Amino acid sequence: MKAETSAQTALVSLPISLIEALLTIRSAVDEDVAGVFRTITGTSPCTSGPTSNRPSPDVIVPQSGKYSAEFLGTTFSENTLAALFGRAIDMMNDVAPEALVELAAIHTRSRRFVAREPRDIHPHNPHLPTMLTQSGWWISKNISQDQLKQALRALCKVSGLSFGTDLKFSQRQLHR
């Protein structure tokens, strides 16, 4: 196989799962990319079957959680700050799991942001609650908005993302 490159092109090896995740995110932002894949292959970029049974990307799923965030263009919401942070961790695990390893090495005065063992989250206060994310990382269940923002900023720093652009956090306004 011959590959032509220019001075502004770099060829790198990436895991297929990372490429699929990036294409999924990109197709959510730019339907043209997904349209090209459908035209060429008759399938979406991340599946091997036809896309006719999949829900339309134009369908808007209502966000019902008290807190919401946006990760690389994908909006999600949860009722607790810990659950919201857990979702952000799970999404980062899909895109760049190596960033979570770096995040696990960082700790504040009283806690780590993520850990593989629950006892490593609050080393000086082991009685504080923790929770396990779907991707297998432990996080604190006892988190304030300021601590969440600090953790999200640290996550952005280790992953090369920009807080406020690539990863956004906001408290939803609930209607009464």
Give the domain ranges of the chain: 13-59, 67-171
| CA nearest neighbour of 80 among 170, 141, 161, 4 | 141
Q: Percent of the chain beyond pLDDT 90? A: 56
Write down the pLDDT at residue 47: 47
Q: How confident is the model at residue 176 (pLDDT cuts 50, 70, 90)?
A: very low
User: What does the alpha-carbon distance between residue 64 and residue 48 come to, in Å, rounded to a whole number?
Assistant: 32
Take residue 128 and report the two structure tokens written for it: 């504080």
Q: What is the CATH number of domain 67-171?
A: 1.20.1380.10
pLDDT tens digits, one per residue of 93-150: 999 999 999 999 998 988 999 999 999 999 999 899 999 999 999 999 999 999 999 9
Please give the structure tokens belonging to residue 97: 């799991």
Average pLDDT estimate for 147-160? 95
Asked if pLDDT for residue 3 goes beyond 90, the answer is no
3 state DSSP class of 174: coil
**Angle formed by the axes of helices 16-29 and 31-41, to 10°?**
120
